[in-house]
Amino acid sequence: MSAIHQWLTDLALMPDIDIRDWASFHYAYDSVTCSAPDLPARLAELGEVSGWLSETSRVVTLHNSPVALENLPLAGEFYRDDLHWQLSRLPRGQWQLHRHRLTPCAAAEATHLGEHVEHLQAGRSAGRLRYWRLWEADQEQAPQCRIAVLADIQETHR
């Protein structure tokens, strides 16, 4: 039995845990470093995504839209289907674009166990950011969490 299958079995026995908030994934990662002239084209290659972007003069929420820069970006998180991106600013006019692929699979083939977590969206009292917090096995097969990726933005209108 895989560690992830065992974790799911153990979680199902806990009365306060809703097992539907968890999913098994095969996880893949890569990243690219971009300079200021290259960044707009690299972000345009993402196509239509959802997420958020923080620039020096604004914060934008995206809903199935291309990432269009008006100023220098500070950070951002985007998603589409099983792809999740994180943009972070580096020193000396460079940015790192991290790409995470989460492919749902059976627990026996999974590399990570995902847990849904929610955070309030800044500036929007009714909005919530939903993340997959990803757990992986350490050397002793104990769960450890090293990353979370934006999975959904839920906006409720009052």
Q: What are the pLDDT tens digits along the chain (158 aa)?
A: 689 999 998 998 999 998 888 999 999 999 999 999 999 999 999 999 999 999 998 999 999 999 999 999 999 999 999 999 999 999 999 999 999 999 999 999 999 999 999 887 766 556 889 999 999 999 998 999 999 999 999 876 55
pLDDT given at position 115:
95
Please state, in angstroms and rounded to a whole number, the distance separating the CA atoms of residues 6 and 9. 5
Tokens encoding 32: 């690219």
Q: Max Cα separation, the chain? A: 53
Please state, in angstroms and rounded to a whole number, the distance separating the CA atoms of residues 114 and 136. 9
pLDDT given at position 127:
81
pLDDT given at position 119:
83
pTM for this predicted structure: 0.90
Residues with Cβ within 8 Å of residue 4, at least 6 apart in sequence: 24, 107, 110, 111, 112, 113, 137
pLDDT given at position 98:
98
Please state, in angstroms and rounded to a whole number, the distance separating the CA atoms of residues 130 and 121. 9
Amino acid at 126: A
pLDDT given at position 124:
56
Burial tier of 114 (Cβ tally within 10 Å: 0-12, 13-18, 19+)? buried
Please state, in angstroms and rounded to a whole number, the distance separating the CA atoms of residues 12 and 18. 8
